[in-house]
Amino acid sequence: MLRTRATLWQPCSPSTTSGFLCQPSLWKRQQSNRGRLQAAPAIAPPTEEVAVAQTDATDILSDVSFPKPVTPSTRAPLARSRPRTQQEVEDSDDPVRFPSTWEHRAWVWGTLTLLSATAALGLAKVDDWSDGFATAVTLVAGYYLADFLTGIYHWSVDNYGDGSTPVVGEQIAAFQGHHKEPWTITEREFCNNVHKVFKPALSFAGLLLVASPWLPGWLQVGLAVTTGLTCMSQQFHAWAHMKGSQLPASVIALQEAGVLVSRKAHGAHHTAPFEGNYCIVSGAWNPVLDNSGFFRQLEKLVHARTGVAPRCWEPADSPLFKR
């Protein structure tokens, strides 16, 4: 089979770091986390998937920097040269290595505000049983649609392009780098983790709100919730990388009920060449898409039209998947 390696897939260039501004809220969270971690039971050693994943691909972290010790204490600065193991992360006094910035928060809360306004205006239009039923059906459909959309999106950024790709390069670098250093997602504060998905959704959320006077209420609600769930999938993804001791009981319950993608279900994705289990809301679509060969057919179609082969056609021991 002809395999064409696009120049876009060359490894990303090393990133740089910038200074870190310590925030009072971060200090409080660090203290809180310290107590929690000290009280936590012993944690099992890193799994094989984690052991595979040390890397120089800290490109995904190019927009964040490493915290200096917040006091001139005995705490040693975190090393930039060697990524930590998951065990080290969970044992650390500084589990939050990548705090949110005000820019991250602006993208996330700006988009969420627009989507919430659209959903609220839509709900205000629902004034009879038929509209209520249509809204309920749309919400369920939107939940499953969001899972499907995350699968398509995740598949595309895992397999095509790199950090230099226009518009979505930042997201591509983040997803591809995540395979090499998967546990860093657990070290990110909420807005730091999800802003790369909320950022491109802001324009759509704005258009949705502007168009809302011309939309039926049930459709407004459905579109707003589907968009929100699709963006939030990056947080569901982070939860799927955390151990039970790091998660609220409510999240564990939702994962165990299959409402949110579980650690075990998402763990099936993290084996080179990363060719399946792409959906990260509930993961309900994963068996359907993987067993039907949906993505392989899509890849053949892309290859036939463009000559570009996906990264997952590489052998599992390809240098592309090594750190």
Where are any strands of DSSP class E within 72-214?
none
CA–CA separation, 118 vs 205, rounded Å?
8
Contact, 239 vs 119, CB < 8 A? no
CB of 186 to Zn ion, least distance (A): 10
Contact, 158 vs 149, CB < 8 A? no
The window from 79-87, 109-117, 129-137, 151-159 that contacts Zn ion (CB under 5 A) reads 151-159
CB of 314 to Zn ion, least distance (A): 14
The window from 97-105, 120-128, 157-165, 209-217 that contacts Zn ion (CB under 5 A) reads 157-165
Taking CB positions, which residue lies at the least distance from Zn ion?
A: 158
275 binds Zn ion (CB under 5 A): no
Phi, psi torsion values for 161, nearest 5 degrees? 80, -175
Closest to Zn ion by CB, 94 vs 275, is 275
Closest to Zn ion by CB, 158 vs 189, is 158
3-state secondary structure of 188: strand
158 binds Zn ion (CB under 5 A): yes
3-state secondary structure of 318: coil
CB of 266 to Zn ion, least distance (A): 6
Q: For residue 144, how many other CB atoms are within 10 A of its CB?
A: 16
- Contact code string over 103-142 relative to Zn ion, x by CB under 5 A: ----------------------------------------
CB of 82 to Zn ion, least distance (A): 21
Q: For residue 129, how many other CB atoms are within 10 A of its CB?
A: 8
The window from 43-51, 132-140, 152-160, 312-320 that contacts Zn ion (CB under 5 A) reads 152-160
CA–CA separation, 198 vs 210, rounded Å?
18
Amino acid at 158: D
Closest to Zn ion by CB, 94 vs 158, is 158
Binding residue count for Zn ion, defined by CB under 5 A:
1
Phi, psi torsion values for 235, nearest 5 degrees? -75, -40
Q: Write the CB contacts of 43 (distance below 8 Å, at least 6 apart in sequence).
A: 87, 90, 91, 243, 245
Residue corresponding to tokens 């592309």? 320
Closest to Zn ion by CB, 183 vs 218, is 183
CB of 294 to Zn ion, least distance (A): 16
Closest to Zn ion by CB, 135 vs 159, is 159
181 binds Zn ion (CB under 5 A): no
- Chain positions contacting Zn ion, by CB under 5 A: 158
